Amino acid sequence: MARGRRGGSGGEEFRPAFHPAGFDHELRAVVEDLRVGRWMTTRDLLARTGAHWALRTSRSQVLSAVAAGSHTVEAWLTEEPHSADARMMRARVAVARATQAHGQQHPRTGELTTEARQAGRLAAHAAPDDPVPWICLLGLARLDVRRELPEHRERPWELMLPAGPWGLLYEVYVRDRFNREAYHRMLQYFHSLSGVSPAAAIDFARWVVSWAPEQSPLRVLPLYACAEHYHRRRRQGSDDPLLYRQWARDPIVQDIDRALSWFHHTPPGSRSVLDLNHLAHALWAGRRYAQSAPVFAALGPYATRFPWAYMADDPSAPDAAETVFLKARRTAQVP
């Protein structure tokens, strides 16, 4: 729920809610159970989710982030060693731990990455039709900073794009063609490349949009690429006034238009809170306030830390995202 506090007139002042489950209220209860070490509701939720691949992908991603700091998933796998869902979650958790270790430059990063890769292969063997184990393996590609593994430097599908883990992406593609997370993992891979133009990530995102259906959340992908580009330029000390104005200039205006079309052509229950936040941010940053209002309204009480924190004077401040989000929401005149 959104937090509130008394305003000057005695009414409740809007405060956003930051919760990984977002609109998925069924997932929310399971997250709370997982936080206190209970895994049975996770098992039951994944069983009910079945082969709804988009939902299985998003739910397992959230659950793994919650479970990575405990041994709850390992306890489940010990109790049910033949469970494909438990194997998949074990791979998810292993990737989350390896990724965190990589970000912290932990000395066990290599060991954890190898463990995660093995867990991903076992999960893929346990459930051959499931795209999630392949997403796990795809997520590990950006940790291979020297590009030592051949599977991380395969020829691209589009000749103008860099080599990368295209074979792993293909394994997801044949199981769930427009899988949202898979293409975000590829985008992260391109952002991680050294010695390659930063434009490679944006080029990849726009290439995906060129063939993604209008109802696909992949239509929002370029907004993630542009927000990350903005953040990196600022972190490098750029004070170019044109950097902020990118949101009101082509070709980013066209990127926003395509994402807005996605918003208008999809039912509310199918949208990601993170996608809506990126669209609301891009519209606001491009001074398209009236068009941003319905997106803020669709978000209800929910916000995400990024991309809002990127726009703050100090993106690392605890209240950075909330401050910018509230400013943008007020500008859009959302009640």
Q: Which residues, in sequence order, are bridge partners of residue 12?
A: 6
CA 86 to chain centre: 22
How high is the pLDDT of residue 6?
Answer: 39
How high is the pLDDT of residue 278?
Answer: 99
pTM above 0.75, yes or no: yes
How high is the pLDDT of residue 182?
Answer: 99
Say whether pLDDT at 124 is over 80. Answer: yes
Give me the sign of the Cα torsion angle 127, 128, 132, 136.
Answer: positive
DSSP 154: B
Considering the segment(s) 18-196 as one domain, its CATH architecture is Alpha Horseshoe (1.25)
Read off the pLDDT of residues 17-68 as tens digits, 9 standing for 90 and up.
999 999 999 999 999 999 999 999 999 999 999 999 999 999 999 999 999 9
The domain segmentation of the chain, as residue ranges, is: 18-196, 220-235+243-335
Distances 81 to 74, 78, 191 between C-alpha atoms, Å: 10, 5, 37
How high is the pLDDT of residue 238?
Answer: 65
Q: How confident is the model at residue 1 (pLDDT cuts 50, 70, 90)?
A: very low
How high is the pLDDT of residue 241?
Answer: 67
Read off the pLDDT of residues 138-187 as tens digits, 9 standing for 90 and up.
999 999 999 999 999 999 999 899 999 999 999 999 999 999 999 999 99
CB under 8 Å to 35, separation ≥6 — which residues? Answer: 66
DSSP 161: S
How high is the pLDDT of residue 239?
Answer: 66
Q: Are 55 and 49 in contact (CB under 8 A)?
A: yes
Tell me the percentage of the chain whose pLDDT exceeds 70.
95
Read off the pLDDT of residues 258-283 as tens digits, 9 standing for 90 and up.
999 999 999 988 899 999 999 999 99
Q: What is the dihedral of CA 105, 231, 254, 326, to 10 degrees?
A: 110
How high is the pLDDT of residue 196?
Answer: 77
Give the C-alpha separation, 232 to 240, whole Å. 13
Q: Are 308 and 324 in contact (CB under 8 A)?
A: yes
Q: How confident is the model at residue 242 (pLDDT cuts 50, 70, 90)?
A: low
